[in-house]
Structures are given as C-alpha cells and as structure tokens.
Amino acid sequence: MPSSDKNQWKRDTLDPVVKKFPERREKFQTDSGLDIDPLYNPEDLQAQGLDYDNDLGYPGEYPYTRGVQPNTYRGRVWTMRQYSGYGSAAETNERFRYLLEQGQTGLSIAFDLPTQIGYDSDHLLAKGEVGKVGVPICSLQDMETLFDRIPLDKVSTSMTINATASLLLCFYIVAARKQGVSQEQISGTVQNDILKEYIARGTYAYPPRPSMRLVVDVFKYCHENVPKWNTISISGYHMREAGATAVQELAFTFANAIAYVQAALDAGLKIDDFGPRLSFFFVAQNNLFEEVAKFRAARRMWARIMKERFGAKDPRSMMLRFHTQTAGVSLTAQQPDNNLIRCTIQALSAILGGSQSLHVNSRDEALALPSEDSVQLSLRTQQILAFESGVSDVVDPLGGSYYIESLTNELEAKALEYIQRIDDLGGSVEAIEQGFQVREIGDAAYQHGQEVESGDRTIVGVNRFTIEEPPIEGLMRVNEEAARTQIERLEKLREERDDSKVKAALERLEQVAQTEENTVPAILGCVESYCTLGEICQVFRSVFGEQDGALAF
C-alpha cells in the first residue's frame, strides 16, 4: 500500500471512528514515547531504510536481528532460572534443591546487601540487613554450605553481584575444587557490571576507575583459566527498574558495554579473546510489542558495535546472549494476583524476543520474599509457556511483522543517538562522573510517575479498577534467628582458622592491589585461607579508597 493509499485508508476508516468516539482521538504511544500508527505496511519500513523483502535475513546470521541461533527453542528451550537467596546459606541451599527438583534448569543467586558492598555479617553497617534480600556469604564456608549436595559440574549458576564480583567468583571456584570440580568445568555467569551501579542501583564500594580494573581482572583470569564462565552480564535491568525507558535501557547498557570492551582492549586483551564470553541482562516490561522489538534491536546493535566499532572477527563475539527477568517495578501490592498476568505477558515478550535465559517474578514480591508456592507457580509459568503454548515451535515468530520491524528500527535509531551523546561526553565513565545517565533516567521516571498520578497511564488495581482488599496472609518472613546464627558461625570460623595464613594472604593481596598485577590469584589465596569477604574488601578500600554514598543501604 503506497503512502498515499495509506493516508486515504486513514481518512476513510479512522476519521469516522474518531467522530463517533472522540475519546479515541488521543495520541497512541509506546512506553518509551514512540508514536504508534494505526496501521503498518512495507512502505513504512522502506521509509526507515529497510528493504522488507531482502534485509531481514535469517536467524543465526549476522546481524542476528532474528536470533543468534538458527533453531532457537526448537533445539533447546531457554534456561529457566529463579533468582533466590535469603536467610542463611543453609536455607537457600534448601530452596535451590527444591527448585531443581521442580524442573528449574539453572541457579541464580541473590546476595544480601552487606555481601553486595563488601561487609561481613557482624559489621556495624550490616545490622538489620543480614539475609533480608539475599543470602549472606562471608567466607568459603558459607559458599560450601550454599552448594552442599549440588554438583557444580552439572549446574549453571548466575550470580547477581558487582562490587564484590571477583570475590564471589573466587568463593565459587574454590567451593567447586572442594567438590573435586576444576575451574575449567564450572559454567555460569557473574554479573560484574559495576558501571550500572553508579547509574541506578547503588551497591558500589570503590570509585569507578579502580572498580573497572577489578572487572577486567576477571576477564583476564577467566580467559586463561575458566573457559566456560561468562565474565560479565552487562545489565539494563536495573536502569529500567529505576525509571529508564526502553530506549535508555538499550543505550546506557551498550554505552557501558563499550566502556568495558575498551578497558579490556587497553589492558592488552584481544577482542575475540573475551568477546564470546560477554553476556547481557535485560528486563521484560509490560508493553509486549515494544519489548519484543527491543530484544531484536539489541541483537542487531551489539553485532554491529562489535564488528564495526571494535573489529571483531569471531561471530561468537558479535552474538548477543542475554538473560531476562520480568519487571519487579511493575508488581503491585494491591491485588497481587494481577501480577501473575503481568509476569506472564512479560515472560512471553522475552521468549518472543529470543532470550537465552529467563526468570519470572513471583506474585507476592511487592509484599515480601516469595513463598515456596509462589516460586513454584512462577516456574510453572515458564514451563507452560515452553511446553503448552506453542511459542517455542517457531524461530522469531513475530519477525516480518510490519509493526515489529518498524519498532525495532526506531528503537535502534534512538538508542544510537543516545550512545553518540555519551561518546561526545567522553564515554560512559565520564558521563557517569558528570551525572548524565542519572539525570536522564530521573526525568523519565518523573514523567512516568506523573502519568500514573494523573491517570493518563493506567495501573490496574492501583489507579483504576480498585477494590477493598482484606489483609494478605501467609507471606514469607525471614527468620530473625538466621542473622544471629550467621554471626555465630562467622565468629567460630575466625577462632578456628589459621591466623598466620590469613595475615599472609591479606598482605599479599595488598601488595598486588598496589601494582598492575591481576588481583584474582591473590583473592583466591585469601579465599583458600578462609579470609572473610569483609577482610578482603577492606584491603581494597585501603588501597582504592571508597566511593561516596556506598554506605547508604
């Protein structure tokens, strides 16, 4: 349909509807503010520079818009992970084993806040936070307990940890050794994405530049010693949760990724030595079609960035592999069962978009840690989508939709404009130091809040379709005794370990931190000597300094 015919169609078809229903005159937009036409056709794509018949290509082919594998879920469905961690290492171990028995295919660890920013459970600043939003890991002993009776050569583990990422990876490596599993055999991902912490999440410890060194040290060590490990999961999730739009999520994630790649190159690594082990972490929000288009645009953007900007030759370096989690910020305390529907739609967008791995939030997470029943239901949501819906039967089932292709193009174009603005500021680290990303996300979050408050944006059960609700019963609560038990275990560990080995290992780490030598082997030495997480981080604080605001839980 030529554009002139489309305009005629609008006049003949839409104008009478608007006259009859004037309330439908409002402007339709995606959540990112992209205008939505009532109809899409090939001419719309040609206007964006895409030859609909020739430019879409096939899944498994550069630039991977339609997927990084030619068969996607027809070969194997996505990895089903449920993000878990609370109370103590022993309690979380029980939850892990329960989830594996229920059919979960990968583990995902939530760490408590003291662990995330480098404090032991008995530190003054940890009081009231031990085990509350994740599992406390203070030493190798805790990591061994966490994976008791879980064979680390047979399970893939994702660890959401950033400031202390290299430490937790070392705890995991040594715990595997204790099981008789070599570091060459373990597989999984450590998030290790410190830049987004300064933008949106706040669990940083040291200033950005020494923190970047620790990130690259993990790249180097794993390239040489842990070949199956994903050394970073560059995250847009937390920025989106803080209020970013889909466009900002893409732009800021890839701007950070560019900074990591450049830092690794500056440290002497070759792009195809570490490129294949880079992974990503995105959110799945409510706007189904915009989210599908976002994932497709992300693959194409990353392929072109790696090939054209950094000269990657290995196709694996150009393939965007990503984990997706449904949107925690979309969950409501009001009418919590509505969250089941929200999470199902969000999970569907991730699957239609070709995610390699997925976590579905639980319906009661706006109120408390998810109960065992809620976690099981979230896992069943994934399993029903995988095995009953038919959504995994076709590769890129929405590919070729005029609307999806148009959105994909528009999201990519606007995200690239943002990346250019960040490049003009000197790159992601410099932009962070100038507060650019924080301001942009703050503006977007404010606009969203205003729309909800005014009623221009409907949140079912919150600002429309509300009801009187009885108190919610059966919510899960963390046992307050767990923190006391954790501290007692820590005190006993300090009494029983060899203090001379601890002192020697920490002194060696301090020496390494003051040079350009890779810190990971020295951290491994500390872990093997049963130094605690807090003790190791204190060495880094003494050498690197501490980022202002890092103590604010």
Mean pLDDT by 10 residues, the chain (553 residues): 64 67 65 86 82 79 94 91 90 94 90 97 95 96 98 95 98 98 97 96 94 97 96 97 98 98 96 96 98 98 98 98 96 96 98 96 92 92 96 93 95 98 97 95 97 95 93 77 94 97 98 98 98 98 84 31
* pLDDT value for 551: 33
Question: Which residues touch 94 (CB under 8 Å, ≥6 apart)?
Answer: none
Amino acid residing at 424: D
Question: Which residues touch 43 (CB under 8 Å, ≥6 apart)?
Answer: 1, 2, 3, 6
- For the stretch 285-294, what's the b/e string if a residue is b when 16 or more beta carbons lie within 10 angstroms of its beta carbon? bbbbbbbbbb
- The predicted model scores a pTM of 0.91
Q: Which two structure tokens, joined as six digits, stand for 258? A: 């560019």
What angle in degrees, to the nearest 10, is found between the helix axes of 338-352 and 288-304? 30
Return the half-sphere exposure (C-beta side, CA atoms, 13 A cut-off) of residue 284.
Answer: 28
**DSSP state letters, 224-289:** HH-TTEE-EEEESHHHHHTT--HHHHHHHHHHHHHHHHHHHHHTT--HHHHGGGEEEEEEE-S-HH
Q: What size, in residues, is the chain?
A: 553
Question: Which residues touch 261 (CB under 8 Å, ≥6 apart)?
Answer: 271, 275, 278, 306, 310
Count of CB atoms situated within 10 Å of the CB of 92: 26
For residues 360 and 343, what is the distance between their CA atoms, to the nearest angstrom? Answer: 6
Return the half-sphere exposure (C-beta side, CA atoms, 13 A cut-off) of residue 514.
Answer: 9
* pLDDT value for 22: 59
* pLDDT value for 104: 87
* pLDDT value for 43: 79
* pLDDT value for 49: 84
Q: Which two structure tokens, joined as six digits, stand for 379? A: 């896992």
Let me know: does 24 contact 18? Beta carbons within 8 Å: yes
| DSSP code at position 469 | -
What angle in degrees, to the nearest 10, is found between the helix axes of 499-513 and 533-544? 30
* Nearest in space to 93 (alpha carbons), one of 138, 139, 137: 137
| DSSP code at position 101 | H
For residues 147 and 262, what is the distance between their CA atoms, to the nearest angstrom? Answer: 35
Q: Write down the number of H helices and E strands in the chain.
A: 23, 9
Let me know: does 232 contact 219? Beta carbons within 8 Å: yes
Let me know: does 380 contact 340? Beta carbons within 8 Å: no
SS3 206: coil
Q: 109 - beta bridge partners?
A: 84, 159
Q: Which two structure tokens, joined as six digits, stand for 319? A: 């393939």
SS3 91: helix
